[in-house]
Structure 1
Amino acid sequence: MRAVTGTPPRFSDDFCARLRDAFLAARYDADGVLGALGPPAHSALGRGEPEPAFRASRDAGTLGTLVRLFLLGGAESRAETAAALGSVPLDDAVATGLLRADGERFRAGLDVRPHGDEDTSWWIVSDLDSDVLGEPVPVEHVLGVGHASLSLVRATSRRPVGSVLDLGTGNGVQALHAGRHAASVTATDVSERALALADTTFRLNEVEVELRRGEWFAPVARRRFDQIVCNPPFVVGPARVDYVYRDSGLAGDDASALVIRQLPGFLTPGGVGQLLASWLHIRGQDWADRVSGWLPGGTDAWVVQRDVADPGLYVGTWLRDAGIDPRSPEGRAKSAAWLDWFAANEVEGIGFGFVTLRRTDATPTVVCEDLRQAFDDPLGEESAAWLDRVDWLRSPGTDLLGTTFTVPSSVLLERIDAPAEEGWASSALRLHRTDGPGWTHELDELAAALLAGCRGALPLGDLLELLAFAHGEPVEELTATALPMVRELVRHGMLLPSGADRR
């Protein structure tokens, strides 16, 4: 099957309504598909193992037909396809590109799959991936909902806002989620094909989104938004565009740098931007210095590095993502050019993660940190709470020494003991937050004793005086050592002002 290129025909409102009715009648939604396939087959499908889903779909009627068509790349008979699509004429389905005739059978021409959150199910329209096509995807390929998209969905704050900009909307998944908590949503993309498919996604789901075409922030010049989300073409390497969805045409990590530099200027005061980004680890440079150097003034920033890949692994991963075998002549040639570029620029690794930005009139807080440990909690709530804690720490009315603190119940103290001459001796103390990102902090005995007293009864200053007296330490020195630790623990949600101090 050859990939469809160019701008797809626009689905009419009537066509979208008929298709929506067919999907609803068959229960082709997130819960319906899971119920029909069952958790084992559904999980196998997520791993790229379709056979259990094929088997489970056989007894699922019209829902099974839709699953085989749009999720499994199957070929279905005219009768089965017509029954599954209800009042949608098959000729119209082929004319729009939704289906492709394959002899006497029909296959999907587009990927249309359910996607949902806790309360809502949508349908996302995108191009077929290389596994279904049986060949590399074309340059203007519109990606489906992948791991990066889902990561950004989970890392985005969902507090109510007036306006959201989805920069580089692709298939529109970020804009759909934004519509749950924003009064208005604007979505942009440089790709005409992406905007056409996103428009179909929005109308199929009866969601109002303003669409604008253009590069980067040009389509929304002189406008401001309460929140901006962005999954940019962040793949790093030579300045080229093999695939629009991932390549910016800018060299190295310049695409991430451009977004981070320009995004705060399009935020309202106090507005928040959240994006995925990549950055180079260059020999002799600190990655945190590199990324923080991109920030404009007046910007709070929380940069979370979730992974670092070596150049060889990175290149192989992205080649396979596009359907190119790294062992093929084409794959080897592309690998060689890519790795030559990394070597010439002294690239030792490629970092990837989430960036939260906020426009502020206060002295900015900028934190870059590694969070490569495994955790399952989404970062969206945590990013919003992190900004709240930053606000509290720098508020003119905040007096750390006069504040009573509590250690949340989700924070545990781990003690590691090693064999000693007289039994066991503590070799390490570690504070561990069991929810959120799972932060850990190494402590000494004095710090552990201080936190043991943080039960909402005595102010921090009084606790430090008692601790200094008990251990024969100068209170001024103990205080000077403790305050930076306290600020860090507050930022990480491991030490919180007690209820009386959070009004």
Structure 2
Amino acid sequence: MAGDLRRAAFNHEAITEFLGDTAHDALLRDQLIPALRTLAVLDAPTPLSTTLGLFMLGVEVPEGELAAAFPATGIAGLHGLGLIEPAESGELWRARVDLRTHASDADEEIWVASDLGAHQRAGVLRHDHVLGIGQASLTLAQTTVRPQVRYALDLGTGCGIQAFHLLSHADRVVATDISARALGFTRFNLLLNHQALAIDPHDLQARVDLRLGSLLDPVRGEEFDLIVSNPPFVITPRFAGEQDADRFTYRDGGMPGDTLVSTLVSSLPSILAPGGSAQMLANWEITEAVDEEQSRDWTAGPRSWLSADTEAWFIQREMVSPTEYAETWLRDASQGRDPLAFAEQYGAYLDDFASRNVGAIGFGMVWLRRPAEGKNGMGVNFEAIGYPIEQPIGSYLTRDISVADELAARDVRDLHLVVAEDVTEERHQRPGAEHPGVILLRQGAGLRRTEILDTALTGFVSACDGDLSVSSLVIALNSLIGEGDPEFSSRLHEGVVRLIKHGFLLEMRNNR
């Protein structure tokens, strides 16, 4: 099978060249028509067009065309692997799975099989649907901090995408899922890509351990250096008498509200080795403010889940209303095809949120760490970043964590600083005003943060050429503009530390 895919040039570059940028971009948005139009005008099929049409576009393929595209595997081989089935006409074959390429900065290009999406096969998704390479899984892969580690865990592996990335920097990976079908897809993908992933197809257990079970059950008593998880975090209304078969297992963990996420946040540190970290995507409920004088505090729930000895970094990327949330996930599973069922389920979402006084739902990224003894550089941090950020972001998160750890062990006052190359300054003032009313420092790379500067911090940043130490600059500014304010130096020092931690200011290593 892998040999046939190579011979067909079923890879990202060839597919993009074949379709053209416009049709390829549409395909990434699950819009098939531009790609189907490209296939329709071909003079004759090629192995690439056949493979693309079959596994990504839902095209039914004649037997002769299919046999020509897969000479080594053969139709019997494809059928035996469970990848194709006879179409209703009986004269054509259609795919039973989605198969597409995937690449990252860290790994060789691979092929990933999963269940067909609603845009490829009519009808509501099966409840044990195995999700493919979605935006959430890509986001987690791009976000993950990737140190070289001995033992890693992919909790809720699905089709295996996070495990494949982990194999590039972990000696051994445990991949768990509550779905036996998901583990079946993961095993198939591992075997199909054993060369790219540098694993022995006759001894997967040497590097990858696939385990069936829910949450931490399959790994209790073990400790991991790194955990990644794209869990079934979608908040879903519960109802009396529901069975496991009633749930979309790829997104619904079967718990009310955001209980599944809170359970993972509070329990994952217990299976981390000292200094080990965990990263996951999550939803959290945001309760309505008690009165008009208060504002919604999105951090209240996540903050309550943390134990005192856990370091944490929550980045909220999006906040939506209960109605928007319901529409998103009803649309995700194609549940809008039956108007009566859609209305009933929509109402169930709204009643469920109202029962807990939920006014909004947050989505974002979570980083957790069990501190090594005597070390707690990151502490607990919450950020709301709703604008586009640079991807992959993992290396920038690594930098922020490393800097926080370093600052915890050093005296900032002795550092010599320079402004990072990607940082720019903006000044805003009313027409005719003598001085700017707002001064902003903007970051062009990574998390692309913006800092509002006061006069003291503006002066400090302007003087950061690596010549003078932090303490020297603070003393100089205090004498110039401090005006006897006893809090001036400590306030300026606090702002400087924040700019260092966020990457606006960098230590000049070879200072004078």
- The CA deviation at 1:327 is 6.8
1:284-303 aligned at under 5 Å gives the runs 284=289, 286-303=297-314
CA contact (8 A) 1:261 1:295 kept: yes
Q: Distance in 2 between matches of 1:273 and 1:407?
A: 31
Question: For each residue in 1:336-382, what CA deviation from the matched residue of structure 2 results, as whole angstroms up to 9, or x when unmatched?
Answer: 11111111211111100001111103346000110111223322112
> Which residue in 2 is equivalent to 1:373?
387
- The CA deviation at 1:273 is 0.8
Question: For each residue in 1:205-256, what CA deviation from the matched residue of structure 2 results, as whole angstroms up to 9, or x when unmatched?
Answer: 1144210111111111111111110000010132365200000111111111
Q: Distance in 2 between matches of 1:500 and 1:260?
A: 41
Q: Distance in 2 between matches of 1:51 and 1:85?
A: 25
- The CA deviation at 1:294 is 0.9
Shift in alpha-carbon separation, 1:405–1:474, aligned structure 2, 3 A:
farther
1:389-404 aligned at under 5 Å gives the runs 389-395=403-409, 398-404=410-416
Matched, 1:94 2:76: no
Matched, 1:410 2:422: yes
Q: Distance in 1 between matches of 2:59 and 2:442?
A: 48
- How many residues align? The count is 479
Q: Of the candidates 428, 443, 451, which is equivalent to residue 441 of structure 1?
A: 451
> Which residue in 1 is equivalent to 2:343?
332
Q: Distance in 2 between matches of 1:41 and 1:295?
A: 46
One-letter identity of the residue aligned with 1:491: K
> Which residue in 2 is equivalent to 1:314?
325
- The CA deviation at 1:478 is 1.6
One-letter identity of the residue aligned with 2:99: V
Q: Distance in 2 between matches of 1:310 and 1:368?
A: 20
SS of the aligned residue for 2:319 comes to: strand
Shift in alpha-carbon separation, 1:414–1:327, aligned structure 2, 3 A:
farther
Shift in alpha-carbon separation, 1:444–1:53, aligned structure 2, 3 A:
same
**The 10-residue stretch of structure 1 (319-328 or 378-387) with the greater mean CA deviation from structure 2:** 319-328
CA contact (8 A) 2:416 2:470 kept: yes
Matched, 1:116 2:103: yes
CA contact (8 A) 2:456 2:492 kept: no
SS of the aligned residue for 1:133 comes to: coil
Shift in alpha-carbon separation, 1:405–1:24, aligned structure 2, 3 A:
same
- The CA deviation at 1:185 is 1.3
Q: Distance in 2 between matches of 1:65 and 1:469?
A: 75
CA contact (8 A) 1:316 1:326 kept: no
Q: Distance in 2 between matches of 1:326 and 1:130?
A: 11
1:446-457 aligned at under 5 Å gives the runs 446-457=456-467
- The CA deviation at 1:459 is 1.1
Question: For each residue in 1:411-430, what CA deviation from the matched residue of structure 2 results, as whole angstroms up to 9, or x when unmatched?
Answer: 1111112113xx55412101
> Which residue in 2 is equivalent to 1:387?
401
> Which residue in 2 is equivalent to 1:24?
6
Matched, 1:34 2:46: no
> Which residue in 2 is equivalent to 1:55?
37
Q: Distance in 2 between matches of 1:473 and 1:461?
A: 18
> Which residue in 1 is equivalent to 2:140?
152
SS of the aligned residue for 1:419 comes to: coil
CA contact (8 A) 1:36 1:60 kept: no
Matched, 1:462 2:449: no
> Which residue in 1 is equivalent to 2:179?
191
SS of the aligned residue for 1:446 comes to: helix
**The 10-residue stretch of structure 1 (185-194 or 378-387) with the greater mean CA deviation from structure 2:** 378-387
- The CA deviation at 1:74 is 0.5
CA RMSD of aligned residues (A): 1.7
Q: Distance in 2 between matches of 1:134 and 1:111?
A: 14
Matched, 1:82 2:67: yes
> Which residue in 1 is equivalent to 2:202?
none
Question: For each residue in 1:129-163, what CA deviation from the matched residue of structure 2 results, as whole angstroms up to 9, or x when unmatched?
Answer: 12222000111110111110111011012232222
- The CA deviation at 1:445 is 1.9
- Consecutive unaligned residues of structure 1, counting only runs of 5 or more, are 1-18
SS of the aligned residue for 1:418 comes to: coil
**The 10-residue stretch of structure 1 (289-298 or 300-309) with the greater mean CA deviation from structure 2:** 289-298
Q: Distance in 2 between matches of 1:212 and 1:327?
A: 37
| TM-score w.r.t. length of structure 2 | 0.90
Shift in alpha-carbon separation, 1:205–1:327, aligned structure 2, 3 A:
same
SS of the aligned residue for 1:165 comes to: strand
- The CA deviation at 1:329 is 0.8
One-letter identity of the residue aligned with 2:270: G
Shift in alpha-carbon separation, 1:377–1:87, aligned structure 2, 3 A:
closer
Q: Distance in 1 between matches of 2:29 and 2:232?
A: 24
CA contact (8 A) 2:61 2:93 kept: yes
Question: For each residue in 1:434-481, what CA deviation from the matched residue of structure 2 results, as whole angstroms up to 9, or x when unmatched?
Answer: 110110011112210011112211111111111122225237422111
- The CA deviation at 1:60 is 6.1
- Consecutive unaligned residues of structure 2, counting only runs of 5 or more, are 200-207, 240-245, 290-295
> Which residue in 1 is equivalent to 2:210?
211
CA contact (8 A) 1:280 1:350 kept: yes
Question: For each residue in 1:71-95, what CA deviation from the matched residue of structure 2 results, as whole angstroms up to 9, or x when unmatched?
Answer: 1000110001111122223134224
> Which residue in 2 is equivalent to 1:262?
267
One-letter identity of the residue aligned with 1:24: R
1:139-288 aligned at under 5 Å gives the runs 139-206=127-194, 207=197, 208=199, 209-239=208-238, 242-284=247-289, 286-288=297-299
Q: Distance in 2 between matches of 1:87 and 1:403?
A: 63
| TM-score w.r.t. length of structure 1 | 0.92
- The CA deviation at 1:203 is 0.7
CA contact (8 A) 1:275 1:354 kept: yes
One-letter identity of the residue aligned with 1:275: M
- The CA deviation at 1:191 is 0.5
SS of the aligned residue for 1:301 comes to: strand
One-letter identity of the residue aligned with 1:455: D
Matched, 1:134 2:122: yes
Q: Distance in 2 between matches of 1:426 and 1:104?
A: 74
One-letter identity of the residue aligned with 1:372: G
> Which residue in 2 is equivalent to 1:483?
493
CA contact (8 A) 2:30 2:119 kept: no
Question: For each residue in 1:65-121, what CA deviation from the matched residue of structure 2 results, as whole angstroms up to 9, or x when unmatched?
Answer: 000000100011000111112222313422432001012001101111111124511
**The 10-residue stretch of structure 1 (186-195 or 116-125) with the greater mean CA deviation from structure 2:** 116-125
One-letter identity of the residue aligned with 1:31: E
One-letter identity of the residue aligned with 2:56: L
- The CA deviation at 1:399 is 1.2
Question: For each residue in 1:305-328, what CA deviation from the matched residue of structure 2 results, as whole angstroms up to 9, or x when unmatched?
Answer: 000111111111101110111771
SS of the aligned residue for 1:304 comes to: strand
One-letter identity of the residue aligned with 1:22: D
CA contact (8 A) 1:270 1:358 kept: yes
**The 10-residue stretch of structure 1 (65-74 or 108-117) with the greater mean CA deviation from structure 2:** 108-117
SS of the aligned residue for 2:214 comes to: coil
Q: Distance in 1 between matches of 2:313 and 2:276?
A: 14
Q: Distance in 1 between matches of 2:170 and 2:465?
A: 38
SS of the aligned residue for 2:249 comes to: coil
